[in-house]
Chain A
């Protein structure tokens, strides 16, 4: 047991070292891919708190991403407020909306596929609402005006500034996620996912916990939305509120291992490079082939690893350990 803890600590330490020194060795293109990996890992970790731990599968998490992106960008464009403050206002806004959505759904016992449908509908509604408000850019969206290298305005020359920012955000998110799951809050969320009636009968306030999980997840997702806007310097309703980001966010969690601390990170770490590199390699010569490849990977993963990459890993680990302990027993006998 002790050896295992050490192993994982070493692994995390190595990851951190590689993470922090990477921009010194990698070119812009690979830093860009790393930023995408970290960004989607961050978003998937945020989604996972509600979708993985509490088992409430939101298919409209772009709602919160969009709120974060639009709040900080609008405030920056109109009154010049730095996104460092704007992101927290966006987070707070998303938290309030998340609490409202959570209350609305869970108060009336909306769960499973119905909850998913409600979240899709709300995110889609947001697309149309924002599209029809010209003062926040309408269908054209908003552009983040480039002011040169201005870290105080969350703008960096080159990609490594963004890289370090999203790296720190992802580290904090993973830490928060692993901290939550080891306490009463986390265990109670799991019990809701596993069996809501039984949890309720054992004194778990399922309504309150599900709303809290929605709020935490919404705030984290919105902070990521601000990062997205600053990094790509352009947002429009479909790009941040649409079904694209909604699906992508949860895809990484599902492929990596839903409901686990590291699953969402592993999912992004495996899928993004496949998607990006194959686009680079195949995009020029066989246009469209990369999408075929990406789709094939997704289908194969779902077929052979229904519990995600980490799920498969744990299964093999479990079998291996069982065999070992069985072997030990029969030897002792």
Chain B
């Protein structure tokens, strides 16, 4: 059984169809990249998968359960957690407390949640900032915190939205290595990314969207030669 099965997903905003008849699946253990030009429907898809937007029609099955109508916190409890493209820390709480909010999902007791959060902070290399306020972190730290908060909810599928955007090469490499490591430990990833370097480097499989539809999928190498994909990105040759 696939971990995530999306079939005939559609979302209209008034007269505009942001996502149009989208069908794909994610298998356990994969890192799947979701790419497409601006306005292709990546963000809308993410919002639907994580429960922030309800699909107009179609079906999302996560671990065999339909999650179409679920709220974000319910989706998160099932093991599907997202991060945000623009980092969303809790600015006036400490870094530890930021991660604890995620940890509380499965550890209602504060002592346990704190312990879990400290473990996560070690993983994302932020333990030394545990007592600092969320708002004083640098961008690379905030990006790691964003992953850390999601990680603390103990997800089986993690949706990463442009996790490398705005980072320098070294900082980016650090994040990519973290993702690879977490993947080896059994977390499945679905990532939206603008930077081809990141997608090609990280994904086992790439899904390409354009105008709300899937126009191709395959390994990074296949995708980079796919004529439909090239046309969408570079324009058609006449």
- Which residues of A are at the interface with B, using a C-beta cutoff of 8 A? 182-184, 187-188, 190-191, 194-195, 197-207
Contacts and interface: CB of A to CB of B under 8 A. Distances in A.
A205 B73 contact: yes
A195 B90 contact: yes
Interface in B67-104: 71-73, 76-77, 81-84, 88-93, 97, 100-102, 104
Contacts of B93: 187, 190-191, 194
Contacts of A187: 93, 97, 100-101, 104, 110
A198 B89 contact: yes
A183 B113 CA distance: 10
Contacts of B89: 194-195, 198
A102 B167 CA distance: 41
In this complex, which of A182, A184, A199, A204 has the most chain B Cβ atoms within 10 angstroms of its Cβ? Answer: A184
B76 A203 contact: yes
Interface of B: 50, 52, 71-73, 76-77, 81-84, 88-93, 97, 100-102, 104-105, 108-110, 113, 134, 149-150, 152-153
A202 B81 contact: yes
Given A198-B90, A202-B105, 18 more contacts: A184-B104, A187-B104, A187-B110, A190-B90, A190-B92, A190-B97, A194-B89, A194-B90, A195-B88, A195-B91, A198-B84, A198-B149, A200-B52, A201-B88, A201-B150, A202-B152, A203-B73, A204-B101
A197 B84 contact: yes
B70 to A, nearest CB: 11
A179 to B, nearest CB: 11
A183 to B, nearest CB: 6
B207 to A, nearest CB: 22
A188 B73 contact: no
A205 B105 CA distance: 10
A175 to B, nearest CB: 17
A305 B189 CA distance: 45
Given A197-B52, A197-B84, A203 B105 contact: yes
A200 B110 contact: no
Contacts, number: 83
A201 B91 contact: no
In this complex, which of A187, A200, A201 has the most chain B Cβ atoms within 10 angstroms of its Cβ? Answer: A201
A200 B104 contact: no
A184 B90 contact: no
Contacts of B134: 194
A259 to B, nearest CB: 8
Contact of B72 (A182, A183, A191, A200): A200
A320 to B, nearest CB: 16
Contacts of A183: 110
Given A198-B149, A202-B149, A191 B90 contact: yes
Contacts of A200: 52, 71-73
B77 to A, nearest CB: 5
Given A190-B90, A191-B90, A198-B149, A203 B102 contact: yes
B110 to A, nearest CB: 6
B105 to A, nearest CB: 4
A206 B74 CA distance: 11
A203 B90 contact: no
